Structure 1
Amino acid sequence: MICFASFPATSDASGSYGTTRHHPDVEDDVRMDLDEDDFEEGVQRLTVPGESITSSHAFMRGHGTYVDDEEVIASVAGTVERVNKLITVRAVRSRYNPEVGDLVVGRITEVQPRRWKVDANSRQDAVLMLSSVNLPGGVQRRKLESDELQMRTFFEEGDLLVAEVQAFFADGAMSLHTRSLRYGKLRNGQLVTVPPILIRRLKSHFVSLPCGVDLILGLNGYIWVSKHVKQSDQEGEEGFDAEAVYSNKNDEIDDATRAAIARVSNIIKVLASHFVPLTDAVLLEAYEWAVDQENSVKDLLADETGENLVASIGLGIRP
């Protein structure tokens, strides 16, 4: 016979685990009292685990926080964000947390029956179904067995693409689609990776700079920097050129455009290294400053030049 005996908890154990323990570097009387002025546009506040943010009577706790002794306390290191009375903390380093409608840049990792696996910098690979892409002959036509046999003529391993989050599967993986003519395979540029927290949600994540460079700011932290391409005025079947959309061959790029792409890429790297949130206005201001300084593309990566660039913009994270 098997007998189970319960052992009473000791007073030491109950005393050590019965109360919330804060980070030793955080004083008990330190509180980041928040008001309207603490959430000015372009200004973010950095917090650490165990730091008291505000009173739980005035605000509601969100992700990255918990309530202890009637105070909202940060549970992760990150930036404090407020939506009305809801306080959340976005972790400084974390995987991308997708939402329906997000614009993402990804890389094809595997071709499977009637679907592609896509690396979108999330906790698991995304899925792009064959039924969710534009195919020759019209976007509304039924996908046939012949289309499944030719899947690698559309996307193959290593291809980069821009897509939109359409839905989520039962296991949490996101389902993508490229039905818009603005989505699809990416060419004529280079990929820059930044922390996803630095990408602000904008009205449009397709940015065109006056230097002849286009940007696609993926909310998953992948940014595509490429030469400017004029968008076709036609939509639908008449404006769909399958050979051009799914081509793996880059166009001819002149030296001036190559230098502009490299300059913009280095600017993004510098801003990301100083944890500056990236928006179309910030990137345009940074590019204009770099042109005025007449620095070479390589000089932008120097520590002193990077610090001067960030100082000229005046944005960043405040503790």
Structure 2
Amino acid sequence: MDIETRRIQLQFNQTQKLRLQKAMESLSSNVNFDASVTIADSIPVNFEEGVLKGHGTADLDGEVVSTLCGTVERVNKLVYVRPLSSRYKPEVGDIVIGRVVEVAQKHWRLDINCSKNAYLMISAMNVLDGVQRRRTSGDELNMQCIFAEDDYICAEVRDFTHGDIHLQTRSQKHGKLTSGQLLTVAPYLVKRQKQHFHHLDQYGIDLIIGCNGFIWVGEHVGVRDDMVEDQVNRSEPNVSVPNKSSASLEEQEKNYTPLETRKYICRAANAVRVLSTLGFIITLESIKGVIDLSVSANLDINDMLGSEFCVMVAEKEAERRNSDKGKVLI
């Protein structure tokens, strides 16, 4: 991705253009695994023997070069380039975030930024009353009370059946997402990792980096047992669900997100936007680095979306890679 493509809705003066150009050239000269590459970029393999050149790579005069635009990845001796794609290609075990687009019989249909919608069967979600049992007709009647249209859900890709994508929410970390912001980035900017759920304790916020390019930044939730209990209460036919307008002041105060937490949610969300604009791989470390940089520079939240801060982030990353090439690149 070239600089012109990354410069989305930003106006740079001549000095900022030169600084950004210099930073990007420095980053391009230090290509490493997990980094973005374009066609004909060199991929260093440290002169290792037995390196297997996989998809998106070629041998040119004894040097491994990229034949695609994408991100460099490695599995043992195999080196390959994961091509850039505007659509998400799911794999079993991926953590994804989806939007409910339909509540149907025995399942919810979700948009997960893929060419096909995904399905969450009522039999593949957390048991409402915490007991291992078969789903009943009562459970089906209360599906709208569990997840409704336009709700955002964190789930895991379970399998592919006849080309359909099936999800599951078996963990307490999965379920409905509230009190936060949803951000959409290109799926190729999200690298599959062992952990996609993060708690930023110093900021009091949770971060879920979905493999499908949907990223959630919200208020910290200790456990999701309260969500399950709330679903149980709403699924009981004899229990009335209180209306938001009739909720007591104590209940409203309990669900209120503190101002300081909301500020950090917005700051983390802007950090994701800056990284996406620059085309950097989005990880917990890269997001925290951008947040810390904005705090140390004493910038307001809105100023993080300015051209000057984007240049600062690019320069900071170029400086970090030059000073310590052994660390994992963002």
Under a length normalisation based on structure 2, what TM-score does the superposition of the two structures give? 0.72
CA distance in 1, matches of 2:233, 2:312: 40
Matched residue SS, 1:241:
helix
Relative contact order (alpha carbons < 8 A, sep ≥ 6): 1 or 2 greater? 2
Pair 1:87-2:79 in alignment: yes
Identity %: 38
CA distance in 2, matches of 1:161, 1:292: 34
- Which stretches in structure 1 are left out of the alignment for 5+ residues? 1-36
2:217 aligned residue (197, 205, 225): 225
Deviation at 1:301, TM superposition (A): 0.3
1:145-164 to 2 correspondences below 5 Å: 145-164=137-156
- In structure 2, the CA distance between the partners of 1:69 and 1:271, relative to structure 1 (3 Å rule), is closer
Pair 1:166-2:170 in alignment: no
Q: What corresponds to 2:12 in structure 1?
A: none
1:289 aligned residue (288, 293, 302): 293
- In structure 2, the CA distance between the partners of 1:212 and 1:113, relative to structure 1 (3 Å rule), is same
CA distance in 1, matches of 2:71, 2:52: 16
CA distance in 1, matches of 2:104, 2:211: 25
CA distance in 2, matches of 1:201, 1:154: 29
Residues 130-178 of structure 1, C-alpha deviations (whole Å, 9 max, x = no match) = 101124322521101121122111112111000011111121x221111
What RMSD, in angstroms, separates the aligned Cα atoms of the two structures? 3.4
CA distance in 1, matches of 2:42, 2:317: 30
Structure with greater Cα Rg: 1
Q: What corresponds to 1:106 in structure 2?
A: 98
Say if 1:47 and 1:80, in contact at 8 Å, map to a contact too: no
Q: What corresponds to 2:230 in structure 1?
A: 242
1:208 aligned residue (174, 177, 199): 199
Deviation at 1:203, TM superposition (A): 2.9
Paired AA for residue 218 in structure 1: G
Q: What corresponds to 1:189 in structure 2?
A: 180
Paired AA for residue 167 in structure 1: D
Paired AA for residue 267 in structure 1: A
Deviation at 1:219, TM superposition (A): 1.0
CA distance in 2, matches of 1:102, 1:261: 24
**Which of the two has greater helix per residue?**
2
Paired AA for residue 197 in structure 1: Y
Pair 1:124-2:112 in alignment: no
Residues 191-241 of structure 1, C-alpha deviations (whole Å, 9 max, x = no match) = 011111222233321112211111111111111010122226xx7xx9941
Say if 1:213 and 1:227, in contact at 8 Å, map to a contact too: yes
- In structure 2, the CA distance between the partners of 1:72 and 1:201, relative to structure 1 (3 Å rule), is same
Q: How many residues matched?
A: 273
